[in-house]
Amino acid sequence: MVLDEGITLLLVGFFVTGVGELLVLKAAHSWQIYAHANERSSHEHPTPSIGGLAFVLPVLVLLGYLAAVGYGNLLGLACGCALVAAVSLWDDLAELSPKVRLPIHLVSVALALLSLSPLQGEPLSWWWLLLFGLAMAWHLNLFNFMDGIDGYAGSQCLLFALGSLLITSGGAGWSGAVLHLLVGSSIGFLVYNWPPARIFMGDVGSSFLGLLIGVLVAQMALTGVLPLIASLILLAGFWFDASYTLCVRILTRQRFTQAHRSHLYQRLTDQHSHRWVTLSFWAFGVFWLLPLAWLSKERPDYAGLLLTFALIPLLYACWRTRAGQLQPELGHDEQR
Question: Alpha-carbon distance 77 to 114, whole Å?
Answer: 7
Identify whether 336 is part of a domain.
Answer: no
Alpha-carbon distances of 272 from 22, 156, 267, 278, rounded to whole Å: 29, 19, 9, 10
Instruction: Judge whether 8 and 182 are in contact, CB under 8 Å.
Output: no
Mean per-residue pLDDT over the chain, rounded: 91
Q: Is residue 70 pLDDT above 90, yes or no?
A: no
pLDDT at res. 333: 40
Whether residue 167 is contained in a domain is answered as yes
Q: Are residues 251 and 128 in the same domain?
A: no
The residue segments making up the domain with residue 115 are: 1-35+48-226
Are 5 and 107 within one domain? yes
Among 71-75, 178-182, 296-300, the minimum mean pLDDT is found in 71-75
Q: Are 257 and 187 in contact (CB under 8 A)?
A: no
Structural domains counted in the chain:
2
Q: Tell me the per-residue pLDDT of 78-110, one tens digit each, with 9 for 90 and over.
A: 999 999 999 999 999 988 888 899 999 999 999
Is residue 221 included in any domain, yes or no? yes
168 and 66 in one domain?
Answer: yes
**How far is residue 167 from each of residues 162, 238, 276, measured CA to CA in Å?**
9, 20, 27
Say yes or no: 170 and 251 in one domain. Answer: no
Distances (CA, A) of 212 to 30, 250, 305, 330: 30, 28, 27, 37
Domain boundary pick from 178, 203, 226: 226
- Is 316 in the same domain as 269? yes
Mean pLDDT of 299-317: 98
* CB neighbour list of residue 30: distance below 8 Å, 6 or more residues apart: none
Above 80 in pLDDT, residue 12? yes
Return the H-helix or E-strand segment holding 106: helix 98-113
Query: Which of 193, 209, 226 lies at the terminal end of a domain, its last residue?
Result: 226
| 320/200 same-domain check | no
* Residue 43 domain-assigned (yes or no): no
* Residue 303 pLDDT class (50, 70, 90 cuts): very high
Question: Which stretch of DSSP H or E encloses residue 48?
Answer: strand 47-48
On whether residue 3 sits in a domain, the answer given is yes
**pTM for the full model?**
0.93
Q: What percent of the chain has pLDDT over 90?
A: 77
Question: What does the alpha-carbon distance between residue 124 and residue 195 come to, in Å, rounded to a whole number?
Answer: 42
Q: Say if 79 falls within a structural domain.
A: yes
Q: How confident is the model at residue 237 (pLDDT cuts 50, 70, 90)?
A: very high
∠ Cα 289 290 295 (to 5°):
100
Q: What is the mean pLDDT of residues 298-310?
A: 97
Domain match, 179 and 114 both: yes
Round to whole Å and give the CA distance between 235 and 285. Answer: 9
Is 36 buried (19+), middle (13-18) or exposed (0-12) by CB count in 10 A? exposed
Q: Are the C-beta atoms of 173 and 223 separated by less than 8 Å? A: yes
What average pLDDT does range 215-222 have in this prediction? 94
Is 67 in the same domain as 112?
Answer: yes
CA-to-CA distance for 149 and 44, rounded, in angstroms? 11
Q: Are residues 309 and 238 in the same domain?
A: yes
Q: Are residues 317 and 206 in the same domain?
A: no
In-domain check, residue 99:
yes
One domain for residues 307 and 259 = yes
The reply to whether 256 falls in a domain is: yes
The answer on 20 and 149 residing in a single domain is yes
> Which of 226, 248, 282 is a domain's end point?
226
DSSP 253-279: TB-TTS----SHHHHHHHHS-HHHHHH
Lowest mean pLDDT among 6-10, 22-26, 42-46, 149-153: 42-46
